[in-house]
Structure 1
């Protein structure tokens, strides 16, 4: 739980009273590898801070080879199907644990209470929103402006842990190519 406080305090100091209120609302949740954290059609009820593990955002398909991976979150990052969380509408995608995952979560209703009673809640909401927006915006711009090879190479600098810890079939989907095309790209640049 202290990692969350450290993460928040990189942006703003949190007084003890606010921290006690916020931390009292956190619930530890643990998922084993390949567990589904959120299914399509469910409403996201949590914003979570990953203490350990990797979460994948995907649109599942009947043919597993055609699943679309469009995001990842790692240790010391916030994770949520945030559009569903904000709008209280069913999610159009799934969240899956790519490894064993432990996280600290705050529910929608508890976060609303923290918002009204402390300053820290608003900071956490802003931090998670900004982070998720920047990742999404950067990825959209890359899909529109860069070649598949450029997108792959950018992963080495932007998100090096992605390359090391994620199966290549998910990386291929993430950059918008087939596994075979990714294999050719990797061969060409090595």
Structure 2
């Protein structure tokens, strides 16, 4: 739980009583590799902090999944649109490694927002961060080549990318695994 406090303190420090209230609402969950955290058609009920692990966001397809996000250690993860609207998700979340999450329910998070000094500020800043990540990804598809998208991913997370199967990386940057193979050969 220390990781969450440290992370939150970088956004907007919480006083000890607010932290204790927030921490009392968290549930620790340990998941095996390749565990579906949220299925298509299910409603997201939790915002989770990844204390350890990698989670992939994707749309399952018969031939090959469409991966559109990876979330790593010391980051929050959720099917945010489903979480906000409390409607069924159109995509899935799956662990790519053994993963430890600290989860807070929608209702408990709303209570934290109401009863703590910085809860709303932290929530707003996290929503802004998620927007910027989504915006950066969309702009990269409009302005960059697949090779540039791969290099960006590799430079942002070199150690962690090695833990992600190449077929998911290929899907994430919008190419086939064969095209990713060619890109990797060209840049090595």
Is TM-score (shorter-chain normalized) higher than 0.5?
A: yes
Structure 1 residue ranges (4+ consecutive) displaced by more than 3 angstroms after TM superposition: none
TM (norm. structure 1) is 0.95
- The alpha carbon displacement at 1:157 in A equals 2.0
The two structures have a TM-score, normalised by structure 2, of 0.96
- Report 1:20-59 matches (<5 A): 20-59=20-59
Root mean square deviation of aligned Cα: 1.2
Could you say if the C-alpha distance between residues 133 and 70 of structure 1 is closer, same or farther in structure 2, counting changes exceeding 3 Å?
A: same
Counterpart in the other structure of 2:60:
60
- 2:87 is aligned to 89
Unmatched 5+ residue regions in structure 2? none
TM-aligned CA deviation for residue 189 of structure 1: 1.1
Structure-2 residue corresponding to 1:99: 97
In 1: Cα distance, 2:146 partner to 2:44 partner = 31
Whether the 8 Å contact between 1:22 and 1:120 is mirrored in structure 2 is: no
Which residue is 2:78 aligned to? 80
Which residue of the partner structure matches residue 114 of structure 1? 112
Match for residue 152 of structure 1 among 131, 150, 153:
150
1:75, CA displacement in angstroms? 0.7
The answer to whether 1:13 aligns with 2:25 is no
Cα deviation, residue 125, structure 1: 1.5
Q: CA deviation at 1:122?
A: 1.4
Q: Distance in 2 between matches of 1:104 and 1:124?
A: 16
Distance 1:57 1:127 in 2: 21
* TM-fit CA distance, 1:29: 1.2
SS at match of 1:10: helix
1:137 to 122, 135, 145: 135
Give the deviation of 1:22 after TM superposition.
0.5
Q: Distance in 1 between matches of 2:93 and 2:182?
A: 29
Instruction: Work out whether residues 155 and 162 of structure 1, in 8 Å CA contact, stay in contact via their aligned partners in 2.
Output: no
Residues 78-115 of structure 1 show CA distances to partners (whole Å, capped at 9, x for unaligned) of 00001100011110000001011111011000011111
Query: Is this contact kept in 1: 2:11–2:122, CA < 8 A?
Result: no
**Cα distance change of structure 1 residues 110 and 5 upon mapping to structure 2, 3 Å threshold:** same
2:12, 2:122 within 8 Å by CA — same for their partners in 1? no
